[in-house]
A and B are shown apart, each in its own frame.
Chain A
């Protein structure tokens, strides 16, 4: 196994990082490039930039901004939000992004995953999945960036991730919406069920509020990485302390 990855996620709106609770009510958390540089220096293993306005508003990404971030970082980063075509993905990668993450557009047109994988290789293609508990199952939601457009996709989460993998996804980021922004811990049951069905890397998202939550998801769900936003942006948890705690607890992390 590789070192378990700690991945701050920056929800970006017009170059600013924002954070909402359960995807609603956004609060300004600072300049995106400044925060990215800070996390790089603190030992983040990877960064995700999610353009929260691009997808619901049908806008395209600001590729010049992607280029500025690529110039700044010496760690990998992926770009999410608003990527609906192979051409848009190409422009993100050409401007220095390491991976592109697609979510709602992949649900609309699953062959977008295979088109991108064929062109760029599976390692560049991340499929993000927003998932919500429904009875004793989990269902995929789409258009979650906009509370008025958010809705169920009619797909079972555990079926969709297997389909995405078969189509050529190189990694799944599973965002457990019931936990998102509430800092009560990752959804270990759901992530363990997802891990058992995949042979590609799985990244946990949603619910991180304390160092013990990271330990739990690595030890119990076997995920390759854990993504978190507000717990880092708010200063509740600093990456160096988190990594020291994980290393002391026997989880291999990059110092």
Chain B
């Protein structure tokens, strides 16, 4: 059975991620110990709420260095995806983990475009990737966010919300999902299953 470690740092939707992985038959370890995080086969970094608070928690727990150095599959979910980038506009500016270039920016509300971007949006695949195997080009995913990652070389799939929203990103062994795969029905389950099957 595949083992996966979920970073449990007090700024994440840990239980719902845990349950989704357990539904797929994975052995889930919730952990915030720097040594055990460094030794994990694969790592999920969840996150909801403010980027500044999340980074402060990771820093207080001594997890910034082990996550940055992690060389096996790493998946950031929602805020966890944003944390992979360099910097966020959130608050008065927040330095992030710096694993993918670019700045996370605020989404602006518009006519028929309330913020947070909350609800189901269609994914359109930009380029194929093992994480997206079997996920149809018009799969639906559940988003909840007020900030978005920069659209660039790392983007694997986009959603459209008054402009392109990077929905799935990847750089080397680090992947991110802006939406919540644990709450995205069949498409989300397939993405988590694909992550569990990536060679560690």
Which residues of A come within 8 Å of B, CB atoms? Answer: 1-3, 5, 45, 67, 70-71, 73-76, 93-96, 98, 118-124, 170-171, 198-202, 222, 224-225, 254-255
Q: Which of B62-70, B93-101, B117-125, B168-176 is the interface stretch?
A: B117-125
The answer to whether B119 and A45 touch across the interface, beta carbons within 8 angstroms, is yes
Contacts of A75 in B (CB 8 A): 142, 183, 185
B23 and A74 form a contact (CB under 8 A) = yes
Chain B residues with CB under 8 A of A123:
48, 116, 118, 144-146
Interface string of B141-170 (1 = CB under 8 A from A): 011111000000000000001000000000
Q: Which secondary structure dominates where chain A touches chain B?
A: loop
Interfacial chain B residues near A73, Cβ < 8 Å: 183
Contact A1:B112 (CB < 8 A) given known A67-B15, A94-B14, A123-B146: yes
Partner pick for A76 among B113, B140, B142, B161, CB 8 A cutoff = B142
Once the chains bind, are B180 and A70 in contact (CB under 8 Å)?
Answer: no
Tell me, yes or no, whether B2 is within 8 Å of chain A by CB.
no
Question: Which residues of A lie under 8 Å from residue B109 when comparing CB positions?
Answer: 199-200
CB-CB under 8 A from B20, the residues of chain A are 74
Residue in contact with A98 in the complex, picked from B115, B117, B183, B188, CB distance below 8 Å: B183
A204 to chain B minimum Cβ distance, whole angstroms, is 13
Which of A67, A70, A202 interacts with B114 by CB under 8 Å? A202
CB-CB under 8 A from B79, the residues of chain A are 121
Question: Once the chains are docked, how many angstroms separate the CA of A5 from the CA of B120?
Answer: 8
Report A66 CB to chain B, min CB distance, Å.
9
Q: Are A224 and B15 in contact (CB under 8 A)?
A: no
Chain B, Cβ-Cβ closest to A43: B185
Q: Assess whether A74 is in contact with B183, with CB atoms less than 8 Å apart.
A: yes
Question: In the complex, what distance in Å separates the CA atom of A2 from the CA atom of B113?
Answer: 8
Q: Whole-angstrom distance between the alpha carbons of A120 and B20 in the complex?
A: 21
| A121 to B, closest residue via Cβ | B49
CA distance A73 to B117 in the complex (A): 21
B50 A121 Cβ-Cβ under 8 A? yes
Q: Give bound CA distance, A73 to B189, whole Å.
A: 11
Let me know if A120 and B120 touch, CB within 8 A. Answer: no
Known: A93-B13, A123-B144. A74 touches B118 (CB 8 A): no
Contact of B15 among A2, A70, A74, A118 (CB under 8 A): A70
The chain A residue with its CB closest to the CB of B119 is A2
Chain A residue nearest in CB terms to B18: A96
| Whole-angstrom distance between the Cβ of B119 and the nearest chain A Cβ | 3
Question: Is A2 a contact of B19 with CB atoms below 8 Å?
Answer: no
B119-A98 in contact (CB<8A): no
Given contacts A70-B15, A121-B50, A122-B146, contact A170 B184 (CB under 8 A): no
Are A76 and B180 in touch, CB under 8 angstroms? yes
Report 29 cross-chain contacts, Cβ distance below 8 Å, ordered by A residue.
A2-B119, A2-B161, A3-B120, A5-B120, A67-B15, A71-B19, A71-B23, A73-B183, A74-B185, A76-B142, A76-B180, A76-B183, A94-B15, A96-B19, A98-B16, A98-B144, A120-B49, A122-B116, A123-B145, A124-B48, A124-B49, A170-B116, A170-B144, A199-B115, A200-B114, A200-B116, A202-B114, A222-B112, A224-B119
Q: Are A2 and B120 in contact (CB under 8 A)?
A: yes
